[in-house]
With several copies, the nearest count.
Chain A
Amino acid sequence: MSRYRVAVHIVPRRGLLDPQGKAVADALHSLGFNGVRDVRVGRHLVIDADAPEPQSAERVVRDMCAKLLANPVTEDFEIANVEQA
């Protein structure tokens, strides 16, 4: 067993309203960041977990996302990174 650090992104599904992203984009505009076209706000989770090898760490985290971490109705997830912790 080794310890792996797996980073996950959970983002609001495209097409659904993202009020938080919109509020942040508006705020950035009013601060003068005029180049901003779109902002999406999601969650970034870093999970330290024991697993025999990186592939299985990733597999387990995918399972966690499907079961708990992401809301299947409104969110998508992706594994951003897997590294030895």
Chain B
Amino acid sequence: MKFGVITFPGSNSDEDAFLAITDVLGQEGVKLWHKDHDLRGVDVVILPGGFSYGDYLRAGAIARFSPIMREVVAHADRGGPVVGICNGFQIACEAGLLPGALLRNASLQFVSELCRVRVETTETRFSNQYAPGQILRLPIAHGDGRYTADDATLDRLEQNGQVVFRYVNAKGETDPSADPNGSMRGIAGIVNERGNVLGLMPHPERAAEAIVGSADGVALFESLLAQVGV
């Protein structure tokens, strides 16, 4: 399967995503450049973490106007899978690929730690290799991760099973003190209505090998592979 990782000016986890896909999963990786007008035939697009355009103004606000984003939106409209990780999640929201917005952490501090999230649904092409309710250890590292949307949107996300990951405590329960950034309803990751665009604040690509603390992110990418049956 062919994964394309986009590099925006200021992306800093593009290499991490690329290596997780190629070195760890043994899949084909394609480095895509923000000025490109072509996705070069990739099956999955990854919008990586980092600080595109310095995150100046608002995280993800400027990157969404990059030339390549037009192709990404078209790819998503065709039903092609897109994974927005951290800054990529912010870009996806700004681009309207996902509902809501990611605001400054409630603590007003950048937060970096190995957090816990619970898999809320395995019925997505990004989570079918997890067990229902499975608790994952994934690194987070962000200053703007407070997921925010109006109540109607939140209700709709819940009803449609679009909430994929939620922050939980060591017991696996949602708990405001286990929500590292003040996200509404503890939301760490969502899919769009059609189920082909995933956005999440934690970094599955940084949790691809036990040697660096966790390999719990691997199954996210394996879920995509299972779908296509490569």
Listed in ascending order, the chain A residues whose CB lies under 8 Å from chain B are 16-17, 19-20, 23-24, 27, 30-31, 41, 68-69, 71, 73-74
B108: chain A residues within 8 A (beta carbon): 19-20, 23
A15 to B62, CA, bound (A): 25
Give the contacting residue for B57; candidates A17, A27, A74; CB below 8 A.
Answer: A27
The answer on a CB contact under 8 Å between B101 and A19 is no
A18 to chain B, nearest CB (A): 9
- Distance, CA A74 to CA B105, complexed state (A): 14
How far apart are the CA atoms of A31 and B62 in the complex, in Å? 10
Are B106 and A68 in contact (CB-based, < 8 A)? no
Task: Convert B103-132 into 0s and 1s, putting 1 for each residue whose CB lies closer than 8 angstroms to a CB of A.
Answer: 111111000000000000000000000000
Contacts A19-B108, A23-B62, A68-B65; is A73 near B100 (CB within 8 Å)? yes
Contacts of A16 in B (CB 8 A): 103, 148
A34 to chain B, nearest CB (A): 15
> Please, how many angstroms separate the alpha-carbon atoms of A69 and B62 in the complex?
9
Contact A41 B149 (CB under 8 A): no
Interface size class of chain B, counting residues whose CB lies under 8 Å from the partner chain: 20 to 34
The answer to whether B73 has its CB under 8 Å from any CB of chain A is no
Which B residues lie within 8 Å of A31 (CB)?
Answer: 65
Q: Is the interface of B mostly helix, strand, loop or mixed?
A: loop
Give me the interface of B with A, judged by CB distance under 8 Å. 53-54, 56-58, 61-62, 65, 93-94, 99-101, 103-108, 148-149, 182
Please name 23 pairs of A and B residues whose Cβ atoms are closer than 8 Å in the assembled complex, sorted by A.
A16-B148, A17-B148, A19-B56, A19-B104, A19-B106, A19-B107, A19-B108, A19-B182, A20-B56, A20-B57, A20-B104, A23-B53, A23-B108, A24-B56, A24-B57, A24-B62, A27-B53, A27-B65, A31-B65, A68-B62, A71-B101, A73-B100, A73-B149
In the complex, chain B residues whose CB is within 8 Å of the CB of A41: 56-57
Which residue on B lies nearest to A39, using beta carbons? B57
Complex contacts, B94 vs chain A, CB 8 Å: 71
On whether A74 and B148 interact (CB within 8 A), knowing A19-B108, A23-B57, the answer reads: yes
For residue A20, which residues in chain B have a CB less than 8 angstroms away from its CB? Answer: 54, 56-57, 104, 108
Known: A27-B61, A74-B101. 17 other contacts (CB 8 A): A16-B148, A17-B106, A17-B148, A19-B56, A19-B106, A20-B54, A23-B62, A24-B57, A27-B53, A30-B65, A41-B57, A68-B57, A68-B61, A68-B62, A71-B58, A73-B101, A74-B148
Q: Across the interface, name the chain B residue whose C-beta is closest to A67.
A: B65
Query: Do B54 and A19 touch (CB < 8 A)?
Result: yes
Chain A CB within 10 Å, residue with most, of B57, B58, B108, B149: B57
A74 to B103, CA, bound (A): 9
**Of all chain B residues, which has the CB nearest A27?**
B62
Docked-complex contact A23 and B58, CB < 8 angstroms? no
